[in-house]
Copies of this chain bind each other. A is one copy, B any other.
Amino acid sequence: MALLSPSRRLRRTPFSEGVEAAEIKAYTVYNHMLLPTVFESVEEDYRHLKENVQIWDVAVERQVELRGPDAGKLMQMLTPRDLRGMLPGMCYYLPMVDETGGMLNDPVGLMLADDRYWISVADSDLLYWVKGIAYGYRLDVLVDEPDVSPLAVQGPKADDLMARIFGDAVRDIRFFRFGMFNFQGRQIPVARSGYSKQGGFEVYVEGSDLGMPLWNALMEAGRDLNVRAGCPNGIERIEGGLLSYGNDMTRENTPHECGLGRFCSTQTAIGCVGRDALLRVAKDGPSRQIRPIEIKGELPPCDRVWPLTAGDERVGQVTSAAVSPDFGTGIAIGMVRMTHWTPGTTLTAHTQDGPREASIRDEFWI
């Protein structure tokens, strides 16, 4: 791995002090901010995550706040998912597309009130798109990035740890719902969500000054639970089929290609940008789609697209890959043409270290 040069442009987070004290080894950059990627090793972090509880600095999940009379109207313009059933306290996974149906981001939206939403974004400046649309349509809404930094608590012991800080009521939060909880006299949203399949919460820490006090309180309260600093884990998220914007999907792709058609109610999502294009896509169905892929042999880091071929024909590409300790094989996410996406189909994945045997699976590993 190469070194990462520090600069103010790669923003620190309210939890950076805790991350450094935990002897962070590697980062990635996400929304112009530092995102931890390795503490002990990717494999040890993975094992620990699956058996214990971890605190993750995911401040990189920046929020786009919409506030004002037109906030709801703007939200519906931004996504082909029908938002009529969304109520305060709900989180919605929201594909967001441009006028051609190309993915711009795949955030989680939180409805705080009738006239107030947060959009918790993946790695692109969605703020610029939202501001442009709001300005172009002269909507009566404020669009900004508030001082909110999510902290995730993930792993099988997450409920026990969280209850010690926020009380037993956190155990009752349902999946993709949030409630307001007290920490040091301030009310902050706590959601049952997170970028792992091990269960847990995301605390939307509003106010950078609360960052380290909350980090330290969780670390202290979780000693006997073997709590540790952690981060989204490259192996675990591929096992679980959690997609990554910029890796597994880009503006080149429609939600349907990404397997997100079930989040698109384009017919009823009146006013959404990209509606014309997506109605066409929904009617015809995608001609390529994301699939779980097993790959045999040693794998280099998946730092570029790996073409997938059948004979001389290019039929897709791998976009994320790792070797899974638990499943004892190479696991991957890729986009595959419909002619070759049937489970069991054998293809060749062309890594920078040479070709590997790949086969389409019917489902992810967990």
Contact = CB atoms under 8 A, between A and B. Distances in A.
Contacts of A104: 128
A7 B32 CA distance: 16
A2 interface: yes
B128 A126 contact: yes
Nearest to A301: B6
A8 interface: yes
Given A133-B136, A136-B136, A304 B8 contact: yes
Interface string A225-244: 00000000010000000001
Given A124-B128, A129-B132, A304-B12, A1 B3 contact: yes
A37 interface: yes
A38 interface: yes
A5 B26 contact: yes
A1 B1 contact: no
Contact of A135 (B2, B244, B273, B320): B273
Contacts of A245: 9
A3 B42 CA distance: 13
Contact of A302 (B1, B7, B38, B273): B7
Contacts of A329: none
A7 B247 contact: yes
Interface string A16-27: 000000001111
A5 B104 CA distance: 23
Contacts of A27: 2-5
A12 B320 CA distance: 15
Contact of A29 (B29, B234, B247, B301): B29
B303 A8 contact: yes
A302 B10 CA distance: 11
Contact of A132 (B7, B12, B131, B305): B131
Contacts of A302: 6-8
A305 B246 CA distance: 29
Given A129-B128, A129-B129, A4 B28 contact: yes
B1 A29 contact: no
Given A132-B131, A133-B135, A273-B135, A38 B320 contact: no
A305 B12 CA distance: 10
Interface string A102-136: 00100000000000000000011111111111111
Contacts of A135: 98-99, 132-133, 136, 273
A319 interface: yes
Contacts of A320: 7-8
Interface of A: 1-10, 12, 24-29, 32, 37-38, 98-99, 104, 123-137, 234, 244-247, 273, 301-305, 319-320
10 contacts: A3-B27, A4-B29, A5-B234, A6-B301, A7-B28, A8-B304, A8-B319, A104-B128, A135-B136, A136-B136
Given A8-B247, A136-B137, 15 more contacts: A1-B3, A2-B25, A2-B26, A4-B29, A7-B302, A8-B303, A8-B320, A10-B29, A12-B304, A29-B29, A98-B131, A99-B131, A124-B128, A133-B136, A135-B273
6 A-B pairs with least C-beta separation: A136-B136, A132-B132, A9-B246, A6-B303, A125-B125, A29-B29
